[in-house]
Every structure is written in structure tokens, then in C-alpha cells.
Amino acid sequence: MPERAARILNDIDAIDPAAWNRCANPAGSEYNPFLDHRFLSALEQSGSVSAKTGWQPFHVVLSDRDHGLNDAIGAVPMYLKSHSHGEYVFDSGWAHAFYQAGGRYYPKLQVSVPFTPATGRRLLVAEDTDDPAQVENMLLGATVQVARQLEVSSVHFTFMPEVQWRRAGELGCLQRIDTQFHWENDGYASFDDFTTALSYKKRKNIRRERRDALADGIEIEWLTGDISEAQWDAFYGFYVDTGGRKWGTAYLTREFFSRVGESMGEQVLLVMCKRAGRYIAGAINFIGGETLYGRNWGSIEDHRFLHFETCYYQAIDFAIERGLKRVEAGAQGGHKLARGYMPKPTYSAHWISDPRLRTAVQRYLADERQYVREDITYIEERHSPFRVKVDFDGHQATNSN
């Protein structure tokens, strides 16, 4: 085996985009827009991600020792964090407990896509690598080595695919499970075809919501590809309003949207709502190989059910039209259940340096994993919106609600 070396990049543009993308989206894997070099570069070049915002790029790139960055065989999107904002896997309780015990939780290392609670590979291995499992192990080891060298408290791999989550657990990381609500395309020919699979009550409520959402003369536009700066201006106004109310400040800069629009507009779906000739609300989605990823929403007028129509029902319409397999509508949101989005587990893995904190978190996560699994099963069995539901054991039951 050739000797291999891991390098740290504090700027994603230090590596050739094609070299990164060979690892991020190798042939034969489902295309993930958030791992694309263009998306990560837009975050950094727009100032949304930087040491100043508490997200200092610390990407790991693995290559044969006698080769350069552009011959990378593996990579990890990683950031040195001075806080826990914009991650959607909440560890502030751990930070507070460690602080109370006299420890220092920040800085920490975060392996993720900033501000993006969407599942994707975190250990990125090039398509032509002879032993992908070994490269994944080396990437995991490299991140921990960086953590030790920096003397940080922890490394957090969030929104991993289950197979990489299990590998991280085998190598000593603590394992965490949470829940999101995703819509699955069961070969539906139309939105009406989808609603026929729902219970009568849920089907009736969705039809009413869709009708009422557009009752004030609101029109819906799908924008993808060539999106104008005026349209981005309108959407950014919605985004800033919502971000200000949720977090106190918006995570993404206005420049970010121009950059992704210019460099990867074909992977963007902007759902815009117009009334009386002007835009009043909108939602941004990113188009993957098999998945539509809902991200940010905002509005400047209050219209009942418009949020559900713009973010959830329009996303289903688009996924059916494009033949996509699923819609991931972002973090949280039990209200999505009544709209046909079902609970799915999400996975994260955590390396913690301090043995006291590690032991405490390990006990907590064991209880939390059991609770999350039980909660998903309970929802599937008792609260599915579908006429026929399937539980974890494969048993079917009729839902007449």
C-alpha cells in the first residue's frame, strides 16, 4: 500500500473543484448538491462561513504521499467552531455541563455542511479508490488526529448516512439518533394520486389547505436555472425576515444566493409566491440526484396555510413531476406528519476527548436512542396519515382516521 498523507485546507478553493467533486459525488452515488465544491465555495466566498462567523474551514484532504491535492482519494468537509449555531444537532447542554465541571467545550470540530440539516456522506471517498472502507477509516482517524493536535474538546459528524455512522461507532465514536420528516414518492403519477393513499380526513384537510392558501389571488412560480438578481433580492428579504425572528440574525449573506444561482442554478428550485404583481413569499430548495431538499422559507405577508403550500405541497408536486424519490423538508416539524411526511431517523457520531464528559454523554445517548426509536415506531403505528401503514416489523394495519 502506498503511504498516504492528510492535509488541512482552510480554503475550499485551494483544491481543484473536479478533484473535490470526485470524492464528494463519485460516479455511482446519488448526487448531493450540498457536498458540491460550488456550494461549499459559495458559503466561503460569500462570507457566510469564515472564522469571523465561527465556522473556520478545516477541511481534510487525503492523497498518496507523493501526490498533490488534485489527486485526492478522500476528503472531509470540516470546520473549527466557536459556538453551536447552525448545526441542527443540539449539543449546547453538553457544552454547559462541561463548562459547569470546569471544562472548555469550545472550540470544537464540526464535520457537516454549514446551516444544512440534510443527510449526506461525511467521509468522502473517490470513485476509483481500491479500498473505500480503509480510506473511510483513515479519514476518521485523520479528523481525530487534527482534534488532538488542536487540543479541542470534540469532533461532531452530523447528518451522516447510517452505514458511515456505524463505521464511526465501530471506531469509538458515540452514536446519536434524531428524527426528521421526509416524503417518499411511491411511484405517484400526480399530487391527487398521492392524496388517495391518505386517510379520508387527511386528504380532505390537505385539499382545503391548498385551496385556502391561494384564496387571496396568490400565484406560484417555480424558478430554476436562470434566476434574476431581482428575484434573489425578493427572496433574500423573506429569508432575512424569518432568520431574524428565529435566530436573531440570518446565517447566509445576500452574496451567497447570487453565487449559487450563478454557479449551480440548475440545482436550485425557488418556489415564489406572487400577489397583486409582487412577490410576497418564497422557499428555496436544492435538487439532488434522487431527492429534493427543502431549505429556507420566508414571507412578508401572513396568509393562512401558505407556508404549507409553498414548502411542502409544492415540493411534492415538483418531486412527482421530476420523478424524484423523496423530499427532505429540513429539521424538526411534527406538523409535517399530517401532510404526508413520515418520520425517519437521522444519524450523528461524536468523538469526545475528556473521559468524564464522554462517559456522561454516552449514558445520555443510550437512553435517547431508545426513546427516538420508540417514538418513530409509535408514530408509524398510531399516527400515520396513510390508509395503510407499515411498522418496523413489516406488519400492515388499516388507518381509518
Cα 87–Cα 91–Cα 96 angle in degrees, nearest 5: 135
Assign 310 to helix, strand or coil: helix
Q: What is the pLDDT of residues 72-97, one digit of tens each?
A: 999 999 999 999 999 999 999 999 99
pLDDT tens digit sequence for 360-394:
999 999 999 999 999 999 999 999 999 864 444 55
337 pLDDT higher than 50: yes
Banded pLDDT at 129 (limits 50, 70, 90): confident
CB half-sphere exposure, 344, CA atoms < 13 A: 22
**pLDDT digits over 149-208, tens only?**
999 999 999 999 999 999 999 999 999 999 999 999 999 999 999 999 999 999 999 999
- CA separation for the pair 268, 122 (Å, rounded): 22
pLDDT at position 250: 83
Query: Which three cell numbers mark 205?
Result: 384537510
Q: Is the pLDDT of residue 331 over 90?
A: no
pLDDT score for 235:
97
Nearest to 65, CA basis, from 24, 7, 22, 12: 7
pLDDT at 244: 59
Structure confidence at residue 390 (pLDDT): 47
Q: What length does the chain have?
A: 401
Question: What would the pLDDT profile of 216-260 be if each residue is shown by its tens digit?
Answer: 999 999 999 999 999 999 999 999 987 656 556 789 999 999 999
* Average pLDDT estimate for 115-125: 97
* pLDDT tens digits along 50-72: 999 999 999 999 998 777 788 99
Q: How far apart are CA 39 and CA 114, in angstroms?
A: 10
**CA-based end-to-end distance of the chain:** 60
Tally of CA atoms within 13 A in the half-sphere of 165 that contains its CB? 16
57-60 own/partner pairs: CB under 8 Å, 24+ apart: 57/9, 57/10, 57/11, 57/12, 58/8, 58/9, 58/10, 58/109, 58/146, 59/8, 59/9, 59/10, 59/12, 59/15, 60/6, 60/7, 60/8, 60/9, 60/139, 60/142, 60/143, 60/146
